[in-house]
Amino acid sequence: MNVELRDFEISDSEAELLLEREPASSGRGVPRTTYGGARSLRYRRKEPFKLGNFLKNLFCCWCWAWRKWCASKELKPRTILIGRPTAEKFPPNEIRNQKYNFFTFLPLVLFEQFRFFLNLYFLIMAASQFIPDIRIGYLYTYWGPLGFVLAVTICREAVDDLRRHKRDREVNSQKYKRFGGVDKPPE
């Protein structure tokens, strides 16, 4: 029996070969392998969801990401020729102990505050007072103490970060001795 497919004919034996089936003469007519071939996906048995397999795959992905982004980088040797500038770019030799910059200050301070359970609890309680059916007291009795704690924390973190910045600037502005014997302030 011949099967016609798009202007050309193919025999049963060729079709079985293309579909990776055992010959019809064997009587089984099952796929040779469960992998490969266009029809093999139909015959694959579905595996039930297993938490162990999921966690194993998740752990493998996490390990791969850790090695890719967080593992220590391999150090390359450096050749420094005295009296000649190098073409390679290296990070500046500066000290930066600041925790925040202008854009990350408020989000990071709020995140650090609401990581603590009690602060998050008081935030949820204060936010729930906007719903009239469950309001217990006046809004200022909830938002006042929470706002005071947040304001004090923000001011304290700002002062600490400014002090760190000032100390870093003092250390980075110190004169140093260059190997070539030239005194030069840091750039």
- Whether the per-residue pLDDT at 111 is higher than 80: the answer is yes
Cβ atoms of residues 31 and 37 within 8 Å: yes
End position of a domain, from candidates 44, 59, 77: 44
> Whose CA is closest to 125, among 145, 105, 108?
145
Asked if residue 32 has pLDDT above 60, the reply is no
Query: 42-51, 55-64, 98-107 — which is least confidently predicted?
Result: 42-51
CA–CA distance, 114 with 149 (Å, rounded to integer): 11
* Strongest mean pLDDT among 9-13, 83-87, 95-99, 113-117: 113-117
55 belongs to a structural domain: no
Q: What pLDDT is stored for residue 5 in this prediction?
A: 46
In a domain, 157, yes or no: yes
- Does some domain include residue 153? yes
Range of the domain at 111: 105-173
Q: What is the pLDDT of residue 126?
A: 92
Asked if residue 25 has pLDDT above 60, the reply is no
Instruction: Write down the pLDDT at residue 185.
Output: 56
Count up the domains in the chain and report the number: 2
> For 88-104, what is the mean pLDDT?
81
Q: Quick check: is 81 in a domain?
A: no
Q: Is residue 82 part of a domain?
A: no
Average pLDDT, stretch 136-150? 91
Question: Which of 46-50, 61-65, 77-81, 181-185 bottoms out in mean pLDDT, i.e. has the lowest?
Answer: 181-185
Is residue 143 within 8 A of residue 67, CB to CB? The reply is no
Average of per-residue pLDDT across 78-93: 73
Question: Would residue 94 count as lying in a domain?
Answer: no
